[in-house]
Structure 1
Amino acid sequence: MKKPNILLIMTDQQRWDTLGCSGNPVIETPVLDALAAEGTLFTSAYSGTPSCIPARASLLTGMDPWNTGILYSSGGGIASGMGGGFEYTLPGELAKAGYHTQGVGKMHYEPQRALNGFHRTVLDESGRVGDPSFVSDYRKWFEDRKTGDYGYIDHGITWNSWMARPYHAPEYMHPTNWTVNESIRFLRERDPEKPFFLKTSFARPHSPYDAVPYYFDLYMRKSLPEPYLGDWCGEHDVATSGTEAWRGRRSAEEIHRARAGYYGNINHIDHQIGRLFYEMRNMGLYDNTLIIFTSDHGDMLGDHHLWRKTYGYEGSAHIPLIVRLPKQMESGSDRHKVDRVVGLQDLMPTILEAAGLRIPETVDGQSMLPLIRDEQVQWRPYFHGEHGVCYSELQEMHYLTDGKWKYIWLARQGTEQLFDLTADPGECRDLANSPEHREQLLLWRSRAVAVLQTRKAGLTEGETLVCQAGKPRIVPPKFTERMERWSRLRAGL
């Protein structure tokens, strides 16, 4: 059988409930809704470490966060940067098997020009400059083609701000358009004698919430979902002054404007994905391409007075995931919705199996193809995610979920939360102290202990969880091993 082409579409910081096919009655995502109708929508997909760098490391390697060694995106640097030294990567395995591989848009590697197995990357790294000499491909393109004396963030909204306003430059210069333009360019100029792997990685809807005027105005006029506010979120109901504050009380007008910019960016991305699909159909590529759509993590958007990501809550950790098989792999038993709990580490084995390739032993994830085909397969009963300190020690957490219940352990506070996601998808009622849910709490706590005690990292003692307040950060052994391997590779040893 002819090897399928592979298109991995990734947005940045898109929460699971911002697609029409996921039940959002306001947002317009007709292209992705149609893709879900052709393929499979995973309704319980999660980010194992819900911030940019660690989430992308799991996707790149198929490994759990503890085994990538990356538990943070920032905040001290240790066990936070992507770096290199991975023995096996998704693009690397595909390249070795004869695929022409290219990454377009946001990669968030370190160093930024690292290929990590790709033949080539064409980068939009937003405002990140890891090396003083680095200029992203998008930034250079923007400066060469701008129509006046302005810069690419002259609208004044920074990369993690809760503020929002319409995009200030012509629509064709928005990074969303550029990302699709470069993806189409690759498809036209690639080696036609090889199957391709293309990662189209958008820098939005991650802030700045700067949708172009058409989309921004569209959602400013709409009634948008209000933030969820839990009975437990009082500690985050505080006055804040910073424009990149990770928590705090914002006015209804500010929240509406942020959501309008965020929703508008998603609608814009959807239309541009439609343009990519149109070109693929014209080239005769669409039918024989495995297409996956997902995001690295979500965005709280004011839920529970929280912004940005890194939390175990649904707005941050629950992500969209659609898999559409190429026509040659379709069967009559393919499911259009799957509620089994999956994660980003499952993408690499899924793609490699679809390409008929061996899955490296380092991969922790499982291929989702049996779930799509409705086959009987042993699957994880629950999913574990985590994140270290980033904005505040209040954040460090571990979470477990089966898509129906959610347990969160706030490790440096030593507190627990329990949510019934079926009855309370917004996580507004914390059941951890509810007597009638005591058995459920003990069940999930025992599961957390079972996951963490194997690490022998001081997280557990017997059958209890050990509060991490005042303790140094835990550095996974795999991080140290990988950094040593990377150093030897760079030294040519």
Structure 2
Amino acid sequence: MASKQQPNIVMIMTDQQRWDTMGSYGNEIIETVNLDALAAEGTVFEHAYTPSPSCIPARASLLSGMDPWHTGILGMGAGQGPMETGFAHTLPGVLADAGYHTQGIGKMHFYPQRSLNGFHHTLLDESGRVEDRNFVSDYQAWFERNKTGPYEFVDHGIHWNSWMARPYHAPEYLHPTNWTVNESIAFIKRRDPRKPFFLKTSFARPHSPFDAPSVYFDLYDRKRMPDPFVGDWAHIHDKPEDAVSPVAWRGVRKPEEVRRARAGYYGLIHHIDHQIGRLIQCLEREGLYDNTMIVFLSDHGDMLGDHNLWRKTYGYEGSAHIPMIVRLPRSYGKAKGRVTEPVTIQDVMPTILDIAGLDIPETVDGRSMKGLMLDAEIADWREYVHGEHCACYSDEQEMHFLTDGKMKYMWFPRLGSEQLFDLQTDPGECRNLADRPEEQRRLQHWRRRLVDILAKRDAGLTDEAELVNQAGKPAIVSPYYKVRVSGAK
């Protein structure tokens, strides 16, 4: 059982925030004062990656500490199904069993949508998703009760997956970002005071719609926004027939449209940062800050026009590289400021349990990052991370990637093509080295690593010597999904 000395845990999660949109990660345009202050007190993980760059598979790995293959969710669509329940162990469930008061606020992306998955209670903002009959999110119901005119929460006219951007159409206090922090503060004040607590504050932004309140949108609309990276290979995604859609996943858009999208996106992050400041101030006023572990991360990023691509599901840096900051309770002393070892979302659950002094379930694939933060010698830390996604919008999107933060290897199973990038000299992934004769040895080295990972699945992705082209073959579906879901019913 938990003791009074065990730390409180606050997990702050953004949706679809790329790694390079914070001052602590080197961005000199965006203002993220509160997150940068948190980074100065804690540990910045420079090479944190999502195991699958889209919402459901990434969040399933966060919830369970398991790799996507073991959660059974390799993406969104293509036979993967919704998240469902049936996990043997979840982070909030283990904490609840140990005596923590657990609360989830904001975007959970569970199915059924009112599933708890170990939380004692949730308050939901599920954007526009209605997957259960008669479901109305807590945020939408609150919006309807508090709006000041005959408008709806979607009356800005922008689709949930659009590249389009405009200022928020309603008063700022009605924005879901404000609601998420309001409810988080309310929980802190009404929690069981005799128990340590686990609070997941999960924002639905900066995921589109790019609808920052005017004060934030206008600030970045006046600034010179960074131009997208466009690689020497990006012409493969210059598809006019795809670009015409307001929810286009690829295609060339006008420079002013790209700049406006980035202004809206940056404005959303600036807005979130201010609201995170409110949450931290609440912890300080309540006398909880010193004994609270704070974990900040995103589920994946957004391409924002890089290489003529939008949204996520890609192994490229804009989509797969995420921000991650961990601030330990004061009793641990000063942790290491920056960690360069490659880490992934599966590592968050074991890290939290380790800091809380709890056993890590055998089902967890991730590893505790506690030693990395406290500058301990970890001789056997992984050399690289693996990520993947099934075909979602197109066969061209099914991919596997490997990276150590210095090199990036990608394989597209249904195209039979590869990419290799030197992230140290080419952080924007603009030069594909895979076809260069002088890079063949390095290419083969990374390819062999992927063969070794995928051979263990016995799913036809390799013949144990080489990768096997999947063009025209049925979608790969993990057997663990059906086992877990059938066991949950």
**TM-score of the superposition, structure 2-length normalised?**
0.98
Q: Are 1:272 and 2:272 matched, yes or no?
A: no
After superposition, where does 1:433-472 map in structure 2 within 5 Å? 433-472=435-474
Give the AA of the match of 2:397: Q
Q: What's the secondary structure of 2:267's corresponding residue? A: helix
Structure-2 residue corresponding to 1:491 = none
Structure-1 residue corresponding to 2:228 = 227
Give the AA of the match of 2:191: R
State the Cα deviation string for residues 160-183 of structure 1 (Å, max 9, x = none): 000000000000000000000000
Q: CA deviation at 1:238?
A: 1.9
Determine the C-alpha separation between the residues in 1 that align with 2:133 and 2:68: 29
Q: Are 1:17 and 2:15 matched, yes or no?
A: no
Determine the C-alpha separation between the residues in 2 that align with 1:260 and 1:450: 42
Q: What's the secondary structure of 2:395's corresponding residue? A: coil
Structure-1 residue corresponding to 2:341 = 340
State the Cα deviation string for residues 343-384 of structure 1 (Å, max 9, x = none): 000000000000000000000000000000111112111100
Q: CA deviation at 1:486?
A: 1.2
Structure-1 residue corresponding to 2:398 = 396
Q: CA deviation at 1:330?
A: 2.2
Q: Are 1:7 and 2:17 matched, yes or no?
A: no
Determine the C-alpha separation between the residues in 1 that align with 2:94 and 2:441: 45
8 A Cα contact 1:53 1:80, kept in partner: no
From 30, 45, 48, give the equivalent of 2:48. Answer: 45
Determine the C-alpha separation between the residues in 1 that align with 2:409 and 2:95: 37
Give the AA of the match of 2:20: D
Give the AA of the match of 2:454: L
Give the AA of the match of 1:375: A
State the Cα deviation string for residues 123-161 of structure 1 (Å, max 9, x = none): 000000011310000000000000000000101001000
From 318, 340, 345, give the equivalent of 2:321. Answer: 318
Determine the C-alpha separation between the residues in 1 that align with 2:457 and 2:257: 43
Give the AA of the match of 1:131: D
Determine the C-alpha separation between the residues in 2 that align with 1:107 and 1:182: 15
> Structure 2 unaligned runs (5+)?
none
Structure-2 residue corresponding to 1:286 = 289
8 A Cα contact 1:14 1:298, kept in partner: yes
Determine the C-alpha separation between the residues in 1 that align with 2:236 and 2:173: 43
Determine the C-alpha separation between the residues in 2 that align with 1:37 and 1:486: 43
Determine the C-alpha separation between the residues in 1 that align with 2:10 and 2:333: 17
Structure-2 residue corresponding to 1:123 = 124
Determine the C-alpha separation between the residues in 1 that align with 2:103 and 2:412: 39
Give the AA of the match of 1:476: S
From 462, 482, 485, give the equivalent of 2:484. Answer: 482
From 237, 248, 252, give the equivalent of 2:255. Answer: 252
Q: What's the secondary structure of 1:103's corresponding residue? A: strand
State the Cα deviation string for residues 398-432 of structure 1 (Å, max 9, x = none): 00000100000011000000000000000000000
Q: CA deviation at 1:191?
A: 0.2
Q: CA deviation at 1:436?
A: 1.3
After superposition, where does 1:55-454 map in structure 2 within 5 Å? 55-74=58-77, 76=78, 78-239=79-240, 240-331=243-334, 334-377=335-378, 378-454=380-456
Q: CA deviation at 1:30?
A: 0.5
Give the AA of the match of 2:183: E
8 A Cα contact 1:300 1:306, kept in partner: yes
Q: What's the secondary structure of 2:201's corresponding residue? A: strand
Q: What's the secondary structure of 1:475's corresponding residue? A: coil
Determine the C-alpha separation between the residues in 1 that align with 2:141 and 2:473: 44
Identity %: 65
Give the AA of the match of 2:24: C
Q: CA deviation at 1:462?
A: 3.2
8 A Cα contact 1:6 1:198, kept in partner: yes
Determine the C-alpha separation between the residues in 2 that align with 1:451 and 1:230: 28
Q: What's the secondary structure of 1:287's corresponding residue? A: helix
Q: CA deviation at 1:329?
A: 1.8
8 A Cα contact 1:9 1:292, kept in partner: yes
Instruction: State how many pairs are aligned.
Output: 483
8 A Cα contact 2:156 2:168, kept in partner: yes
Determine the C-alpha separation between the residues in 2 that align with 1:148 and 1:234: 46
Determine the C-alpha separation between the residues in 1 that align with 2:469 and 2:484: 28
8 A Cα contact 2:452 2:464, kept in partner: no
Determine the C-alpha separation between the residues in 1 that align with 2:296 and 2:437: 41
State the Cα deviation string for residues 204-226 of structure 1 (Å, max 9, x = none): 00000000000000000001110
Q: CA deviation at 1:80?
A: 3.2
Structure-2 residue corresponding to 1:490 = none
Q: CA deviation at 1:279?
A: 1.0
Determine the C-alpha separation between the residues in 2 that align with 1:371 and 1:295: 20
8 A Cα contact 1:59 1:344, kept in partner: yes
Determine the C-alpha separation between the residues in 1 that align with 2:45 and 2:58: 18
- The alignment yields a C-alpha RMSD, in angstroms, of 0.8
Structure 1 runs (4+) deviating above 4 angstroms are none
From 26, 33, 38, give the equivalent of 1:30. Answer: 33
8 A Cα contact 1:71 1:80, kept in partner: no
8 A Cα contact 1:54 1:80, kept in partner: no
Q: What's the secondary structure of 1:418's corresponding residue? A: strand
Q: CA deviation at 1:475?
A: 1.3
Determine the C-alpha separation between the residues in 2 that align with 1:326 and 1:146: 39
Q: What's the secondary structure of 2:396's corresponding residue? A: coil
Determine the C-alpha separation between the residues in 2 that align with 1:114 and 1:38: 35
Q: CA deviation at 1:478?
A: 0.9
State the Cα deviation string for residues 267-313 of structure 1 (Å, max 9, x = none): 00000000111111000011110000000000000000000000000
Determine the C-alpha separation between the residues in 1 that align with 2:181 and 2:333: 27
Q: CA deviation at 1:72?
A: 1.4
Give the AA of the match of 1:391: Y
